[in-house]
Amino acid sequence: AQKVTQAQTEISVVEKEDVTLDCVYETRDTTYYLFWYKQPPSGELVFLIRRNSFDEQNEISGRYSWNFQKSTSSFNFTITASQVVDSAVYFCALPADMGRRALTFGSGTRLQVQP
């Protein structure tokens, strides 16, 4: 069954620290997509990245970077030089079992960045 595990429930860092959010997944598919979303207090899920399992290159976007390791079924997310505005809940997701037409999400990691 498709499953996403985000073992870190909550992380607290001080501004400018680097922080890594872990995501471990299980899938029976040989080709699949992985996603990260950010949920600020307003509630909206903000799309951050979509990664194809064929592409194991790390991705960097500004202060954000993602490390995809197919061998360990992990798709970790690092924020460099964190800022208070990064405080949010972060979700990792992949397509669900049901005809693979929906997303199954991890339980999320709450990141608190202290000034």
Partner 1 sequence: KAGVTQTPRYLIKTRGQQVTLSCSPISGHRSVSWYQQTPGQGLQFLFEYFSETQRNKGNFPGRFSGRQFSNSRSEMNVSTLELGDSALYLCASSLVFGVATSGNTIYFGEGSWLTVV
Of 35 and 75, nearer to partner 1 (C-beta) is 35
Neighbours of 11 (CB within 10 A): 17
Among 14, 46, 81, 84, binds partner 1 (CB under 8 A): 46
Please tell me the number of Cα atoms within 13 Å of 114 on its side-chain side: 4
Which amino acid is present at 13?
V
E strands, 6-45, where? 10-14, 19-21, 24-26, 33-39
Q: How far is the CB of 46 from partner 1 (least distance, A)?
A: 8
- # chain residues binding partner 1, by CB under 8 A: 27
Check binding of 68 to partner 1 (CB under 8 A): no
Of 5 and 80, nearer to partner 1 (C-beta) is 5
Q: How far is the CB of 72 from partner 1 (least distance, A)?
A: 21
39 with 108: CB under 8 angstroms? yes
Any idea what DSSP says for residue 42?
T
How many Å apart are CA 23 and CA 6, to the nearest integer?
Answer: 5
Among 30, 43, 62, 115, binds partner 1 (CB under 8 A): 43
Residues that bind partner 1 in the complex, under the rule CB under 8 A: 29, 32-33, 35, 37, 42-47, 50, 52, 91, 95-96, 98-108
